[in-house]
Amino acid sequence: MYKKMILLISISLFIICIIGGAWFLTNHDNLNETNIVRIAIYPIGSNSGTYYIQLNMDDGSLSVEQGTRRMSRIDFSVVENIMIRKPGVDYEKTTAELSPDEVSSVINQLNEIYANDSLIYTGRVADSWAITIKYNDKFFENNRFTNYPELVEFATALLDKADIKVEFHGFS
């Protein structure tokens, strides 16, 4: 009897591990794709007013979500939980298709951003905007986003393609 119970518990744990592993691989596999660019632009000190941009470089599909984020810092490992998507919460999603030339332009801009070490600034600044980018499995973060015109122009151009107009205003 005792051996049967241990065998049953062992089989149950094995099945739970297999299901858990499959879930993990299914839900985290997309984050390792190098053909997806993920960008979050958000005000520091407030979860509302967040823009989450996702660009598939293979087919040029661009999606932009505007609304309230769930956490104070952006964590691309939980992409599905970045934004609050439920009735009664300020939320909007738009999509657009970029041409191959437009995708190529975005890639060139991203390469320039990543090559410019002076743009990487990780100190927290109150009453400012931050940008977090995940591209080619590398992260870029700048917490004084509006102090760098090249970053603002890059973000504004992507948001304009999805027909979202935004003014990165001051908070004081």
The pLDDT tens digits for 46-86 are 888 888 899 998 999 998 888 888 777 676 766 666 777 76
Closest listed residue to residue 114, CA positions, set 135, 145, 144, 143: 135
Report how far residue 77's alpha carbon sits from residue 22's, in angstroms, rounded to the nearest whole number: 16
pLDDT at residue 170 in the model: 67
Structure tokens at 120: 């990487």
The pLDDT tens digits for 79-114 are 666 777 766 667 788 889 999 999 999 999 888 888
CB within 8 A of 51, min separation 6: which ones? 39, 40, 41, 42, 64, 65, 66, 155, 159, 164, 166
pLDDT more than 90, % of the chain: 10
